[in-house]
Amino acid sequence: MNGMRVETVRHPMKWLGRKWLGTWFLVGGLLWAVTVVTEGFLAPARWEPMGRLAYRTAYLVRLPVISILDPVFRIPGHHRRLPAVFQFLTAFGAPLFWAGGVWGCGVMVRRWDEWRRRPGATPSRDEGRRRFLRFSGGAGVLGVGLTSYATLVEPQRTQVRRFTAPIRNLPPSLEGLRIVQVSDTHYGPFISLEYLRSVIRQANALAADLIVLTGDYVHRTPAAIRPGVGVLKELQARLGVVGVLGNHDHWEGAQAVRDAFAQAGIPLLDNRRRLLNRDSLRSEADAGEVIGICGVGDLWEDQVRFDQALGGLPDSVPRILLAHNPDTAERIPGEFRVDLMLSGHTHGGQICFPGYGAPVVPSAYGQRYAGGWCAGPRCPVIVSRGVGMAILPVRFGVPPEIGEITLTRAADLPG
């Protein structure tokens, strides 16, 4: 034995096991760190835009496991019990899910290859295998490309959609008055303040007479309330800015959101109203030749008091109603006049396929209120597709939008 060299041969499965274990911890840890830092608003402000992009990617990687575990951890209002446990399980479960998927595909290819090599196999089956692999590779590349576009590109391409709204008895002094609508900003893990500031700059460049906000300013965490509402004070319009709350604002803390709006100096019109003339947005005591800017509470999470918002005005006074949820249009009582309703909430479904539409619209009326100019039973409804995202950090065929509404006197109606 002297002088002989003894080599220890490592079992390849042990080496492979350690390699995969290390990869699992690395990927899972990275997903977990991005999730914790972003959802906890722990990163420095200068890193926020990049952090939000990283979170969108990490969220989509975690999404299959999120979907599996969500029923166990779900509580009302888009929150989850034991959030730290949920973050850990989805982050470290995601690599296992995707590794299992890759392994399953490998098994299918191996089984195909074994079937092709069986006695009596023909060359055509070999060609079929090559076609299968080419198709799978092409589908994978296409899927990654579309996902990247829907996650990183389209959510940043904010557009301005313009509407002309004929109003019966519109005072001549208000002919051509322009209202800019900003809705569903959803500041939170998916949306950065830098992006919202770019939207605000775009809205301010329209030089509106009035800016209206139609709900859902925060997303997923109460920590988003102060910065997510505070940034809205940068909005500028000749006659001011007003808004109403949405369901997400109630889920994160309605009173805290109201306090943040008060600090920002933006009036909320939930079950309230203001009267607008050419020069100011005033209370009824100072009203002259006016149009009512009225608001109601969120349909899902608040009281909807049409009497407080619309009642007590002469029928000759035109009225624009702000309501976060467009389904509110179906409940307007016949005794109240409404000339136009402005809403958000549905986001256009966030995903819309040409020739088919949005697979999912959060409305009891399907595609009717998905977005744009919609026909309600009592009045037209302009439904903003919003500027933020919820549920999924993607937009496909539904770019974010700012609305610009120009009021004009209805030519075919008296007044």
Please state, in angstroms and rounded to a whole number, the distance separating the CA atoms of residues 344 and 213: 9
In this predicted structure, the answer to whether residue 371 has a pLDDT above a threshold of 70 is yes
Whether residue 310 is contained in a domain is answered as yes
In this predicted structure, the answer to whether residue 3 has a pLDDT above a threshold of 60 is no
Do residues 403 and 260 share a domain? yes
Whether residue 55 is contained in a domain is answered as yes
User: 413, 216 in Cβ contact below 8 A?
Assistant: no
CATH code of the domain containing 266: 3.60.21.10
Please state, in angstroms and rounded to a whole number, the distance separating the CA atoms of residues 387 and 383: 12
User: 301, 315 in Cβ contact below 8 A?
Assistant: no
Do residues 287 and 391 share a domain? yes
In this predicted structure, the answer to whether residue 134 has a pLDDT above a threshold of 90 is no
Q: Which domain holds residue 61?
A: 12-121
Q: Which of 63-77, 230-244, 249-263, 377-391 has the lowest mean pLDDT?
A: 63-77
Whether residue 155 is contained in a domain is answered as no
**Nearest-CA neighbor of 237 among 205, 265, 209, 274?**
209
Do residues 116 and 165 share a domain? no
Residue at a domain's end among 90, 121, 152: 121
Q: Which of 7-11, 153-157, 195-199, 333-337 has the lowest mean pLDDT?
A: 7-11
Do residues 116 and 215 share a domain? no
Please state, in angstroms and rounded to a whole number, the distance separating the CA atoms of residues 409 and 210: 18
In this prediction, residues 286-303 reach a mean pLDDT of 91
Task: Please state the pTM of the whole predicted model.
Answer: 0.87
Domain total of the chain: 2
Q: What is the mean pLDDT of the chain?
A: 88
pLDDT tens for 334-357 read: 999 999 999 999 999 999 998 888
Q: Which residue has the tokens 């290819």?
A: 109
In this predicted structure, the answer to whether residue 412 has a pLDDT above a threshold of 90 is no
Do residues 108 and 19 share a domain? yes
For residue 72, how far is the Cα from the chain centroid?
24
User: 300, 247 in Cβ contact below 8 A?
Assistant: yes
- Give the pLDDT score at 415: 40
What sign results for the dihedral spanned by CA atoms 383, 249, 330, 354? Answer: positive
In this predicted structure, the answer to whether residue 404 has a pLDDT above a threshold of 50 is yes
Going by pLDDT thresholds of 50, 70 and 90, the confidence category of residue 66 is very high
- Give the pLDDT score at 5: 53
